[in-house]
Amino acid sequence: MRLKDKVAVITGGAGGIGLETAKLFLDEGAAGILLVDLDEETLKDAAKQLESDNVSYFSADVSDNRDVKEYTQKAVETFGRIDVLFLNAGIEGEVMPLTDYSEEMYDKVLAVNVKGVWLGLKHAFPHMKENGGSVIITSSVAGLQGTPNVMAYVTSKHAVAGSMKVAALEGAEHGIRVNSIHPSPVDNRMMRSLEEGFAPGAAEEAKKDFEQMIPLKRYAENRDIANLVLFLASDESSFITGSQYSIDGGMTA
């Protein structure tokens, strides 16, 4: 019971990584979990899958200040505190050369992936200062290296690492630890979108190409990522903050 009596907020909570992490948190004794995502119906389905009275949900745009403030208040009002904040919401944007990328899509990707992280930290920190806690931010291997034709996504995931480092330094005196995780391709919806973007009409071939770039020759599973998040959320990682964790099958070795 590595999360016994702890309360967690998970953004992107209805997606593959978010939902799998919620399942694992419940198995490890979490006293409360608030799932946050954009679409309310998808959230309802996710909460139903978890089949627990310790789960609540809130529909929010993580790039909207009012929405983030409201989901934070919802967590505190429902469960009394926030011990773990998993800032996992993110979008991939489009696959195209930087010269063709639209300003509108670029701004949208940075708003969700970067501003959404800052707002999550901004509103959760005041509630976490009394008891401390752990913040985990989902970046990507794209936050450690470059990939052609996904300028907005790569930029946003590098920015997330900088946000994490600042928050780790500011949170340290309050016992708030902040770390980022950097997955390689994960076998879920986002990669289906990117595969099609990189190879329209030949997504399966794109997947094979991506797998060949990973020394372990496979995509990560959602549970692989959730296991790392659990470790960083638990007291087992109590002396770890300001760190970037690659979970990439050796892709960045």
Report, as residue numbers or ranges, the catalytic residues.
153
Cβ proximity of 101 and 94 under 8 Å:
yes
What distance lies between CA 34 and its chain's CA centroid?
A: 14
Torsion of CA 137, 236, 130, 114, to 10 degrees: 0
Asked whether the beta carbons of 69 and 123 are under 8 A apart, the reply is yes
- Residues 10 and 21 sit within 8 Å (Cβ to Cβ): yes
CA distance 160 to 139: 6
Residue entry with tokens 């979490």: 30
| Cα–Cα dist 219/240, whole Å | 26
- For the chain, give the longest Cα–Cα distance: 52
